[in-house]
Structures are given as C-alpha cells and as structure tokens.
C-alpha cells in the first residue's frame, strides 16, 4: 500500500481584520521603507495641495522682488484674501488684478488708468465687485453709444508709495496709451516715501525718492539693496518658486507668522501666565548703509523731454513701448530686465531723513518729494497726451485713521496746478452706514459701490470719460 | 493652555519624552508636576485651589474608610464642601443676579427689608475645569460611601484629580479605573502611538479646521437674530449642533489621544450621537461620562427606575434640569435641561406603551423607522440647542419664529458666508476620512465586507513611513484650514 501521509494541518495565517492588527507585525526592507516613504509623501503633498487649491488656502502670498519697482505681484497667481473680506482672484499675465488687455489700444477704446496701492488693487472683494470693474460697466452703459468702449485699467499694487506710482507710470501705464490717468492717493502714500529701518517686512524693500539741492528727484535704492542681502531677502529669492506655486508653502508662511507672534508673547511673559521667561530679546536688524551728504556727486535727473539715458525710466518706457504692438508677459519681463536696471546709486546724496512711525512727521518731511512727484506725473502725462487727475481714497474715517496734513496739501496742490481732484472721505463719512463700507482698512463691496458712484460723477463732471 | 495652542505643541512632546525616558517610579510624580504646570499657566493661584480641594477630598476619603460609623456625616460634609465650592465659583453671580431681578420685580408691591440696588452682584472668575474635577471628587466620595476602597497613595489621588489630558474638559474619570491604570503602567508600543496620534490629529482637525471656521458663522447668526432669514436660522441651528459636537469631541479626542500616548485610556465621551434613533439613546452616546455620572449620582440616588412611573419622570426632569444648570449659570441652560427632561419623559412613556406589542416591535426593527427615529432625535436636539446657544430666552423665541415662518434675511446670508470660506472643502475632506476610518461603526458601511477587507489590506501594505507622512499631512491640513483667529473652546465656560 502506498504510504499515506497524514495531511499536516496548516496553521491558518492570522487574519488581519483591523488596520491596528497590522501594526508592528511584518518587517520590511530598508528599500521598501524608503520607497514607501517617498511615495506616501508625494501622495500626501499632492492631496493637500489639491485640498488647499479647492479651499483657497495658502494663496495669500503674491508679491515678488522686482528690479524696477522693488516688488510687484506675481503674474498669473491665484490669490484668496481672507484677512479682510473674502476675495478670490487671479492676477493677469502682467501681474495685475485685471482682465487681459492688449498693450496696443484698440481703435475704439478709451482708456482710464487707475494707479494706486491696495485700495485700488482691491483684493478684499471679487474682481467684478471692485470699483474699477463697476466703473467700466457703468461708464459703458452711459457712454457706450458714443462709439467708444471705455476701459478702466487697474494698476493698483499693495504697499506701493508715490515713488513706485511714478515709476509704474513710465514702465507700465504709458505702454497702454491711456487717455486718462487717475492717481489714487490713500493715507500711506507720502508716509511710505520714508525708508523704514526697523520691523522690516518684504514690502518695505522698495525704492524711494529724495530731492537734491536743486530740487530734482533723486532715486534711492538703499533699503531695497540692503534687504535683498539680508538672510530674509536671500531666503525670499531662494523660495520664489515655492511662493509662486505651492499652497502648502503659503500656509506654512501664515503658520510661521503665528509662531513669531507666539514667540514674542513668550519672550514678553504672556504665554505662561507668570513673569518673563528670561529669554534675550531678538537682535534688531542692521541699519541700511547711511548715505553721507555731499553736494558734488552725480545725480539722476528725471526729465521726460531729454533723450533717455540707458537704464532710466524713459528707456524702460520705450522698451515696453505700446506703439510697437502687444508684448507678451515674457517679452515684457525680458524688456524690463534688460532696460530697466536701476540707475547706479549715487555715491552720495542727501542723507535720508528717518521718520518711521510718526505719520505727520513723515508727511512733513516727505511732502516736498510727494509734491514734486505729483507735478512730474502731471507733466509726464500731458507729454504723453493723456489727462491726469488725483483722487483721495478714505482709509477708515470713522476712527480718524486719515492724514489731514497730506489731504490738505494734496488738495492745495491740485488747485494750484489745475489737476482735477476728488476726495472720497466726505461721501464715506456722510453715508448712513459707514461701518459697512470699510473693513478694518479697505473698502467692502458696499464701499466699492459708493466709490464707483462718486468716481463716475467726478469723471463726468471733469469730462474724463470722453464725454 | 489649550490643546490647540502652540504652547501645547511644545509642552506635550517634552512631557512625552521625559515620561518615557524617566524610570517608572518617577513617572507619576512627573505627570503630576506637568499637570499642575498645565493648570497653573492660566491663573497660577487657582493651582492652590486645586491643591486644597485635592487634599481635603483625600483626607475625607481616608476618614470615611477609617471611621465607618461616621461615614454618612463625613460624606455629607464632603458633598457640602465640594458643591459649595462649585456654587461659589460658578453660581454666585447668577444667584445674586437672579435674586436682584426677583426683588426688583416684586418690591413695587411688597415692602422688603432689602432693596434690589443694595444687592451687589459679584463676578467671581470661574476656575477652569472646576465643574469636572468637583464631579470627580463627588463620585470618589460617594463610591467610598458605597463600599469602594479609597486611594491610599496621595500622589495617585492627586494625579487622578489633576491629570492634565482630562483636567479642563473631561471626560469625567472613574477613580477605580484610573487607579488600576496607575498600578499597571503600560509600556510604549506602536499601537498606543498610532491610536494616540490618530486621536490627536483627528481632534485637531475637528477643532481648528472645522469648528473654528464654523464658529464665526454661528456667532454672526445668533449675535443678530433679528437679521436672520428662515434659511439662515435653520443653518445656524443645525450648524450649532454640528459645531458643538466637533468642538467638544475634537477637544476630547485630543485629550484622550494625549493620555493614550502616555499609556492611559480615558473613557470615551462620544459614540456617533447623531446616529441615535431615540433621545434616550442620544444621551447614552453624547457626553457619555457626564450622562453616566448624572445617572449614577443623581438619578439612581433619587430612586432611579425603582419608583413609580410619575416619580421616575419627575426624577428624570430634575436630573436633566440640574444637568442643564451644570452647563452654565444662566436660565436658558436650565430651560434647555428641562426641555430634555420633558422629552426624555415622553420618550420613556412611548417606550412603555410600545413594549411587548408585536406591531411596534416589527415597526421598530425596520430601516425606515430607524431613519425616522434618527431624524426625529436630531430635530429634538436641534430645537433644544437653539435655547442653549441663544443669549437668552427672548432671542431663542426669535430664532424659533424665524425657523417656523418664512423670513427674508436682513444682512449677509450665512449660506454665502459658508460657501465662500474653506468649510465646504474641509467638511468633504473630514467626511471622506470619517467614512474610511469609522466604516465599521456605521450600520450600512460595516456590512460591506469588501470595504472592511480593503482597509485591512491597505493596513498590511503600509508601514511607519506612510503613517508618518499621513500624520504630517493631517497636521498641516488642520493648520492650513484653521482660521487666523481661533474660537474659544465652548466647554471651557462650563
């Protein structure tokens, strides 16, 4: 008889019925673990980037370093702004909160360029609800029958000062051949001409202007150059790609901001409920290089009538010139990169006065510069066959967060030079529900509607709509 | 210190590391020091209150064991001391304010020895967690009276009272279970770490990503009830039901997860309460540690189910009303508790009526009746929470009127606010996670063998690198969705 081997009972492999039972069980090779880690991390990053993109999380960083203006918004960037209001927009290929528009002005177009700061940029509301879009719709409804299509172009950028407005006029605005330029001045415009030395943030790394002894405008890049050499500035440059494309990075930025505030509270003893922890205070940032005063040095003269010197504003303007037709974003960037190198820093110029923190003091010190810039912008616009107007936008009038010195001087300047001028503060103050018009600083959707109404009236009264 | 604060993010890993690196004999002392540091970082002097109450209850417990003939009087003294402390810190202002209002109401008609303006309403700062640790002390004393042995070791008893994962907002622990865990300290193992981390991250997401984003919307609605339309009123009321669950269960998860990482298992406080098919079942699934405490130390001593039906309903009504009062020193909490007392009594009457009747038993077994029961329970909870959340009874009545008759909104629509924020995405993400992780607890999902099997297969393939990546991802997701300003934890005020 053949041997009959009794079948051996196989041990049933343990059934893993719950995920927990698998913990600490099977051992994997290091290669398996490495591959698993990489794949898992990639999947997790992809999933979170997807979720954040759906929810608009980590989309609040949108400025990049710019060699011409100091900083500017990232082209094509999606921005979700929830600090005030709730706006979800995408910057166009020129880095503006606006639709795409050709540089070459269409034959039947009438262009009104609005130059300003965050009040014009209007990230707090959707694009269709900001006053530029509303103005365009309303003006076209009223005057579209005259055969012209009115375009209201938004050139707003957060934290810009008057000096940056001036540079933008030559490097961007005139490229669109506007018929009208309206300069929107808010409470910060003059104050931001003062270079800051403490409490540094990226948006303070901007060019500014001073006046030489002959009263000419002198451009100053000290603070910008200093900041870009600091560890923060270098980190900014290295992480540009992440800041542009990664929402996780954007969210981490917010978390780091929260951590910094917590750490400061910890140093101040506010975290633990008793005394200071005894940590040393953080070292202050080094001051920027001080410019000695010496009268006989080369200076930059900004004069549109003269042949533009290489690297001057006019050269950049011509490089981007609208008469040559539309230039795509890359071409424009290339033109800016080659032609718009800032002029060499004067070896010595007037020492920069410091007026950080005190708005009135800064206004007094820098008003002559602001005055000169506005006059220069006016004459430059006239030289480019476009009209120039000035508007004053309210910040938060209900608590007097305004700059009466700047406002009064601005009004007087416009009167003297016959520049059409509108101050939107009184209509906001007189509105029945003022607190519904402004968030903590910027306008709400209702505020934009009121601003539109006032702007349309202003434009009509001063014949700025081609009417 | 909140579990969701940066301070805790640094505090807990230090405690965790020190705990597991230190010799076993030092671990309890270390936890006690950490617990007092955790408590005292808010108002340091209230650490003294906790210490004094701990010492008093410890001595009373030992005295009850040592002097059995005097056990009742010692118990009464202990109850008076604990309840007295709770009443002083929590209800002084409320009682004085109510007395002042009452006297102001009747003094035009009656000559009283005291005028209403003579009554000074004291505002006593409520020590964090007092409602929870007082209830733990009361449970301790009553259980010793019932024959349990007290905790002899002062260190163990102090740790029972001060244990930081459950100190501020529960769950209300039972000393027998906690003492047993202290004597059988578990070693660190992967399962403990995984379960603990999962609970912490789950709780963090519920609290900061979901609850903190929902809170301003609910506050906007309830802060201006006259501006709400009908849709907004329903959204605000349902939203608050969801909010209070996410907020409280999220915080509890973080506490339980922290305890688990230290080798302790705290009692579960929530068991999918909104899947309950009756109100009785809801209270067996919602804030389980409180409802079981109320049952064991209030309802049962009053007679429980051993008395007549009418007396049983009265006892239930009193228990739930006092449970409402426990939640806050305000009349609308009392009304909320009373509403639940009434609804539970009706529920009990129905159960008594349906018991033994084949028709009802067949009907109760159907899926449709279960769905109906769940919907009805949620509706009852929803309606009662309107009173709980409103500033006062008047506001609650306005909300009810908005819910039950058509009104247009006068301000910004809450629906628009909800859709404009991160909440839709965050909720979808959480629901996906919930289905994947709780599939075996949800009735219709657990029947899918393929679903359960695929989760097991995934777990077999994935090891620690995947878990670490998922932990990190969950952490960043929670913080990314979190609003810039955190909302206070709702149950802190209790």
DSSP A74-101: PTT-EEEE-SSS-EEEE--TTSSSS---
Q: Is the model's pLDDT at A273 over the cut of 70?
A: no
pLDDT tens per residue across span A347-379: 333 334 344 456 777 788 889 999 999 999 999
Q: How far is B476 from chain A (nearest CA, A)?
A: 8
> Could you tell me if B14 lies within 8 Å of chain A, comparing CB atoms?
no
Q: What is the DSSP string of A236-253?
A: HHHTHHHHHH-HHHHHHH
Predicted confidence band at B393 (pLDDT cuts at 50, 70, 90)? confident
| Contact predicate A288/A222, CB 8 Å | yes
- Structure token digits, residue B242: 């969801």
Q: Which residues contact A227 (CB under 8 A, 6 or more apart)?
A: A200, A202, A204, A205, A233, A288
The average pLDDT across A170-197 equals: 85
> Could you tell me if B10 lies within 8 Å of chain A, comparing CB atoms?
no
Q: Tell me what the pLDDT averaged over chain B comes to.
A: 87
Predicted confidence band at A325 (pLDDT cuts at 50, 70, 90)? very low
Closest Cβ–Cβ partner in A25, A57, A271 for B481: A57
Any idea which of A240-244, A270-274, B43-47, B265-269 has the lowest mean pLDDT?
Answer: A270-274
The conformational region for residue A147 under phi > 0 = left, psi -120 to 50 = alpha, else beta, is left
Chain A residues whose CB is inside 8 A of the B480 CB are: 48, 52, 57-58, 247-248, 251
Chain A residues whose CB is inside 8 A of the B196 CB are: none
Strand partners, A208: A220
Which 142-201 residues of chain B touch chain A by CB within 8 A? 189-191, 194-195
pLDDT tens per residue across span B288-341: 999 999 999 999 998 888 888 889 999 999 999 999 988 888 888 889 999 999
CA dist., res. A161 & res. B377, Å (int): 60
Chain B residues whose CB is inside 8 A of the A25 CB are: 460
CA dist., res. A194 & res. A209, Å (int): 9
Question: Best of A38, A51, A125 to disrupt the B interface by mutation (most B CBs within 10 Å)?
Answer: A51
CA dist., res. A386 & res. A372, Å (int): 19
Q: Which residues contact A377 (CB under 8 A, 6 or more apart)?
A: A165, A166, A169, A181, A183, A388
Q: Which residues contact A426 (CB under 8 A, 6 or more apart)?
A: none
Burial class (CB in 10 A: 0-12, 13-18, 19+), A10: exposed
Q: Is the dihedral of CA B36, B40, B44, B46 positive or negative?
A: negative
pLDDT value at position A120?
A: 94
Find, in chain B, the residue whose alpha carbon is nearest to that of A40: B466
> Could you tell me if B266 lies within 8 Å of chain A, comparing CB atoms?
no
> Could you tell me if A83 lies within 8 Å of chain B, comparing CB atoms?
yes
Find, in chain B, the residue whose alpha carbon is nearest to that of A58: B480
Find, in chain B, the residue whose alpha carbon is nearest to that of A84: B484
User: Which residues of B form the catalytic set?
Assistant: 327
Question: Best of A35, A42, A55, A264 to disrupt the B interface by mutation (most B CBs within 10 Å)?
Answer: A55
Q: Is the dihedral of CA A74, A78, A81, A82 positive or negative?
A: negative
The average pLDDT across A7-19 equals: 40
The three state secondary structure string of B113-129 is CCCHHHCCCCCCCCCCC
What interface predicted TM-score (ipTM) does this complex get? Answer: 0.82
**For the whole model, what pTM was predicted?**
0.79
The conformational region for residue A400 under phi > 0 = left, psi -120 to 50 = alpha, else beta, is left
> Could you tell me if B410 lies within 8 Å of chain A, comparing CB atoms?
no
pLDDT tens per residue across span A431-467: 876 667 888 788 889 899 999 999 999 999 998 887 7
pLDDT value at position A362?
A: 77
Q: What is the DSSP string of B319-346?
A: HHHHHHHHH-SSHHHHHHHHHHHHHHHH
Chain B residues whose CB is inside 8 A of the A33 CB are: 463-465
- Structure token digits, residue A228: 């870009």
Read off the DSSP letter of residue A154. E
Find, in chain A, the residue whose alpha carbon is nearest to that of B429: A51
Chain B residues whose CB is inside 8 A of the A275 CB are: none
Read off the DSSP letter of residue A357. S
Bridge-based pairing state of the strands A421-423 and A208-211: unpaired
């Amino acid at each position: 008889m053949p041997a009959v081997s009794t079948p051996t009972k196989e041990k049933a492999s343990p059934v893993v019925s719950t995920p927990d039972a698998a913990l600490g069980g099977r051992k994997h090779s290091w290669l398996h673990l490495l591959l698993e880690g990489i794949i898992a991390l990639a999947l997790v990053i992809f999933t979170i980037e997807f979720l954040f993109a759906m929810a608009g999380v980590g989309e609040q960083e949108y400025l990049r370093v710019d060699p011409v203006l100091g900083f500017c918004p990232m082209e094509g960037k999606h921005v979700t702004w929830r600090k005030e209001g709730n706006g979800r927009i995408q910057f166009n290929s020129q880095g503006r909160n606006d639709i795409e528009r050709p540089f070459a002005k269409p034959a039947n177009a009438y262009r009104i360029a609005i130059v300003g700061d965050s009040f014009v940029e209007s990230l707090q509301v959707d694009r269709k609800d900001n006053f530029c879009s509303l103005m365009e719709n309303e003006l076209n409804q009223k005057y579209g029958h005259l055969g012209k299509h009115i375009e209201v172009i938004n050139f707003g950028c957060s934290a810009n000062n008057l000096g940056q407005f001036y540079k933008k006029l030559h490097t961007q605005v005139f490229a669109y051949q506007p018929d009208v330029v309206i300069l929107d001045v808010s409470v910060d415009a003059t104050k931001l001409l003062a270079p800051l030395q403490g409490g540094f943030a990226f948006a303070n790394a901007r060019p500014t202007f001073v006046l030489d002894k002959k009263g000419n405008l002198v451009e100053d890049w000290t603070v910008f150059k200093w900041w870009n050499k600091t560890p923060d500035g270098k980190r900014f440059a290295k992480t540009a790609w992440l800041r542009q494309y990664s929402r996780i990075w954007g969210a981490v930025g917010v978390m780091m901001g929260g951590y910094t505030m917590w750490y400061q509270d910890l140093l101040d003893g506010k975290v633990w409920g008793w005394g200071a922890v005894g940590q040393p205070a953080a070292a202050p940032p080094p001051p920027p290089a001080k410019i000695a005063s010496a009268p006989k040095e080369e200076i930059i003269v900004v004069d549109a009538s003269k042949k533009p010197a290489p690297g001057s504003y006019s050269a950049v303007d011509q490089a981007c010139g609208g008469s040559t037709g539309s230039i795509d974003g890359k071409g424009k960037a290339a033109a800016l990169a080659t032609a718009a190198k800032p002029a060499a820093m004067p070896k010595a110029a007037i020492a920069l006065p410091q007026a950080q923190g005190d708005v009135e003091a800064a206004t007094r010190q820098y008003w002559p510069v602001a005055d000169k810039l506005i006059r220069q912008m006016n004459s430059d616009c006239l030289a480019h066959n476009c009209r120039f107007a000035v508007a004053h936008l309210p910040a938060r009038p209900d608590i007097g967060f305004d700059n009466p010195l700047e406002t009064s001087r601005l009004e007087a300047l416009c009167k003297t030079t016959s520049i059409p001028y509108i101050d939107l503060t009184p209509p906001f103050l007189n509105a029945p529900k003022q607190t519904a018009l402004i968030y903590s600083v910027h306008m709400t959707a209702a505020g934009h509607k009121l601003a539109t109404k006032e702007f349309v009236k202003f434009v009509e009264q001063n014949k700025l709509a081609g009417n | 210190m909140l579990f969701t604060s940066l301070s805790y993010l640094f505090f807990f890993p230090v405690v965790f590391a020190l705990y597991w690196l230190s010799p076993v004999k030092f671990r309890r002392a270390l936890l006690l020091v950490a617990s007092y540091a955790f408590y005292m970082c808010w108002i340091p002097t209230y650490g003294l209150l906790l210490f004094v109450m701990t010492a008093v209850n410890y001595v009373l417990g030992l005295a009850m064991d040592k002097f059995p003939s005097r056990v009742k009087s010692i118990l009464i003294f202990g109850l008076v001391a604990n309840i007295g402390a709770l009443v002083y810190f929590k209800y002084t202002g409320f009682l004085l304010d109510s007395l002042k209002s009452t006297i102001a109401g009747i003094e035009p008609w009656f000559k009283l020895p005291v005028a209403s303006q003579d009554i000074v309403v004291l505002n006593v700062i409520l020590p964090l967690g007092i409602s929870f640790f007082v209830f733990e002390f009361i449970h301790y004393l009553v259980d010793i009276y019932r024959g349990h042995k007290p905790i002899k070791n002062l260190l163990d008893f102090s740790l029972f009272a001060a244990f930081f994962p459950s100190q501020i907002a529960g769950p209300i622990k039972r000393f027998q279970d906690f003492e047993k865990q202290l004597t059988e300290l578990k070693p660190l193992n992967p399962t403990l770490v995984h379960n603990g981390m999962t609970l912490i991250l789950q709780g963090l997401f519920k609290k900061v990503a979901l609850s903190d984003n929902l809170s301003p919307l609910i506050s906007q609605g309830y802060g201006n009830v006259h501006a709400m339309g009908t849709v907004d009123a329903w959204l605000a009321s349902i939203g608050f039901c969801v909010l209070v669950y996410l907020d409280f269960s999220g915080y509890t998860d973080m506490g339980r997860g922290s305890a688990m990482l230290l080798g302790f298992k705290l009692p579960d406080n929530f068991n999918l309460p909104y899947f309950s098919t009756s109100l009785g079942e809801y209270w067996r699934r919602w804030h389980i540690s409180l409802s079981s405490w109320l049952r064991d130390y209030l309802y049962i001593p009053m007679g429980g189910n051993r008395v007549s039906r009418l007396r049983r309903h009265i006892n239930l009504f009193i228990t739930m009303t006092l449970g409402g009062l426990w939640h806050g020193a305000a009349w609308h909490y009392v009304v909320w508790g009373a509403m639940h007392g009434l609804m539970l009594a009706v529920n009990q009457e129905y159960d008594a009526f349906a018991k033994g009747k084949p028709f009802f038993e067949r009907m109760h077994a159907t899926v449709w009746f279960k769905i109906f029961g769940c919907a009805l329970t949620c509706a009852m909870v929803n309606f009662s929470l309107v009173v709980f959340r409103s500033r006062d009874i008047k506001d609650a009545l306005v909300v009810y009127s908005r819910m039950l008759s058509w009104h247009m909104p006068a301000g910004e629509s809450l629906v628009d606010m909800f859709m404009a924020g991160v909440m839709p995405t965050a909720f979808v993400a959480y629901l996906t996670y919930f289905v994947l992780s709780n599939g075996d607890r949800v009735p219709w999902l657990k029947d899918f063998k393929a679903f359960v099997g695929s989760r097991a297969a995934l777990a077999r393939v994935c090891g620690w690198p995947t878990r670490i990546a998922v932990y990190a991802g969950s952490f960043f997701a929670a913080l990314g969705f979190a609003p810039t300003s955190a909302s206070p934890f709702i149950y802190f005020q209790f």
